[in-house]
Homo-oligomer: A and B are copies of this chain.
Amino acid sequence: MGNYAIAIHGGAGSLMTGTVTAEKEKEFNDKLSEALQAGYNILSKEGTAIDAVEAAVRVLEDSPLFNAGKGSVFNSDGINEMDAAIMNGKNLRAGAIAEVHTVRNPISAARAIMEKSKHVLLASTGAEKFAKEAGLEIVDPSYFYDDNRHKQWLATKDNDSINSWAGDGIPEGTKKHGTVGCVALDSQGNIAAATSTGGINNKKFGRVGDSPIIGAGTYANNKTCAVSCTGEGEYFIRNVVAYDISALMEYKGLTIAQATAEVLKKVALLGGEGGLVAIDAQGNISAPFNTNSMFRGWINTAGEKFTGIFR
Bound CA span A243–B214, Å: 12
Bound CA span A204–B205, Å: 22
Closest B residue to A243 using CB positions: B240
Those of A41-79 within 8 Å (CB) of chain B: none
Task: Kindly state the interface size class of chain A when it binds its partner.
Answer: 35 or more
What chain B residues lie within 8 Å of A270 (beta carbons)?
A: 92
A125 interface residue per 8 A CB criterion: yes
What chain B residues lie within 8 Å of A32 (beta carbons)?
A: none
What chain B residues lie within 8 Å of A205 (beta carbons)?
A: 117, 119, 122, 126-127, 129-130
> In the complex the two chains form, is A118's CB within 8 Å of B208's CB?
no
A82 interface residue per 8 A CB criterion: no
Which of B99, B117, B234, B237 is in CB contact (< 8 Å) with A215? B237
What chain B residues lie within 8 Å of A238 (beta carbons)?
A: 92-94, 120, 214
Those of A208-223 within 8 Å (CB) of chain B: 208-209, 213-216, 219
List 8 contacting pairs A-B, 8 Å CB cutoff, sorted by A.
Answer: A120-B233, A120-B234, A121-B208, A124-B125, A214-B237, A215-B243, A219-B240, A247-B251
Apart from A120-B234, A122-B207, A251-B251, 13 more pairs, CB < 8 Å? A121-B213, A123-B208, A126-B206, A126-B207, A130-B205, A213-B215, A214-B237, A214-B238, A214-B240, A215-B215, A215-B243, A244-B247, A252-B252
